[in-house]
Amino acid sequence: MSDPSDLALTAARSALAELELGQTKSAAWYGLWALERNPTCGLAWAVLSRIVLEVTQDPLATLATQRALRLGLPDPERAEVERFHRIDLWTRGLLAHDSGQPLLPVHAFEHPEHFRETNRLATWLANETGAWADDDGAARALTRLAASLADAWVVPDDVDQPLRDPAPWKPTAAFLRWSQADPAPKARSTSTPAAEEKVVVLSDHWMEQSIMSLGAQSSFDLALERAQEWAQLRPDKVRPKAALVRVLHAQRAVAERDQAVEALLGLGTRDLNELEEARLALGELELWGPQVRLLDQMNRVAPGHPVILTNRGVALLQLGREEEGAQDLEAALVADPDHGPALANLGLQRMKDDEYVAARRLLERAVVVAPDQAQVRVYLAACKNNQDDRAGAMVELEKALELEPSHAQARQLLEELRARGPVAKA
């Protein structure tokens, strides 16, 4: 009988051969077959990582490559895997290049001496691993994700989080037949790969950092040029268009900015993470009308979500559409009665409407569900003060300053209340 480690390595190399031919499903099958024979086969982990990365960009792929490098990789594949990993880390902003450029020729990644770890790397890896409890949890999730993409294992439909659930997954009938037939090894191509001199790699992270840096230096023309380039390179993505809106806003190019906003709103993406990127940009620039339209899109993707309703309610209030804004905040609290931001913002609106009893009830609940939010305590202090509860207001302001000593509004209001003299005892 052949050694399981040798069988696994041969299968992992077969997976690479299939990957070169664009046969992603077959490559994944070989990789999974290899791990069944030897769970410590570093090359098999590297192959599955590359498949998941190319298809989904999921951080699990990065963690799996880290695992592959720890387990060890054979020559000549080690240098190849290290290069792909270098590209992945750099595009995520976890490695920096000496040039500082957001676009690099692909051959630049053959020179590790020009890259250095950023101070984000260790924290990022720890956070992403911790999200799966530990390294083994992340590895299990990665194999399941690869298996589901390749129709190799049956995804259970009776659990809420199948990637996390400890119960094992079963192989599909097709994968079981294939694996039991002792799949024949595949040889990698011996032809010389096409020249890559003109191939470039873009890091969205470093492009965004570059634009922000140019804007901070008031180099708006260069920032605009780079934002336009990014938008052309990523025509279907939100972040480049959001960056373009920011730069045009900083230049006070209102007509061009509004045109860029329309392009942003017209993308039609249903990815809530991307839509949130756009919402943050519009909110940062106080473009409340476009933000409401964007939140309408988000609400169509996830109807009745309390976070979306709260954000839309706040934007509507900023536009002076107080009745509609309050209705959204009330709807958010129907969906989640303990949603802190909805409680705080509706409480603030009730204060503006001189409805202090209702406001105090909402704000007191907001403090209970979010006791570490200094601003909410300031709102509650203002409400109590307007109800002639100066002592209670001062207590809230003191607690706010304990949480956030530099909170200027809390300090000023507390000084004003203390200046009125001693508080009468009840």
Task: Kindly state the percentage of the chain with pLDDT values over 90.
Answer: 86
Compute the Cα dihedral for 36, 41, 45, 51 and give only its sign: negative
pLDDT at 2: 74
Residue 11 near residue 30 (C-beta atoms within 8 A): yes
pLDDT at 1: 44
* Three-state SS at 202: strand
Give kind and range of the element (H or E) at residue 48: helix 42-56
Computed over every residue of the chain, the mean pLDDT equals: 93
Structure tokens at 64: 């799996």
Residues 128-137: tens digit of each pLDDT = 999 999 999 9
Residues 244-258: tens digit of each pLDDT = 999 999 999 999 999
Res. 285 pLDDT band, cuts 50 70 90? very high
Taking residues 344-365, report their average pLDDT: 95
Res. 158 pLDDT band, cuts 50 70 90? confident
CA distance 85 to 65: 7
CA distance 162 to 169: 9
Residue 349 has pLDDT above 80, yes or no: yes
C-alpha distance from residue 298 to each of 88, 127, 278 (Å): 30, 27, 11
Residue 229 has pLDDT above 50, yes or no: yes
Residue 424 has pLDDT above 90, yes or no: no
pLDDT at 282: 95
Residues 80-124: tens digit of each pLDDT = 999 999 999 999 999 999 999 999 999 999 999 999 999 999 999
Residue 96 near residue 118 (C-beta atoms within 8 A): yes
Taking residues 5-22, report their average pLDDT: 94
pTM passes above 0.85: no
Residue 292 has pLDDT above 90, yes or no: yes
Task: Kindly state the percentage of the chain with pLDDT values over 70.
Answer: 97
* Beta strand extents in 15-118 (DSSP E only): 95-97, 103-105, 115-117
pLDDT at 193: 54
Residue 316 has pLDDT above 90, yes or no: yes
Q: Which residue has the tokens 């519009």?
A: 282
More confident residue, 207 or 426: 207
Residues 187-198: tens digit of each pLDDT = 877 665 555 557
* Three-state SS at 71: helix
Residue 426 has pLDDT above 80, yes or no: no
Residues 362-389: tens digit of each pLDDT = 999 999 999 999 999 999 999 999 999 9
CA distance 252 to 298: 28
- Residues in Cβ contact with 283 at an 8 Å cutoff, skipping those fewer than 6 apart: 291, 311, 315
Helix 356-369 to helix 340-352 angle (10° resolution) is: 160
Residues 160-210: tens digit of each pLDDT = 899 998 888 999 999 999 999 988 898 877 665 555 557 899 999 999 999
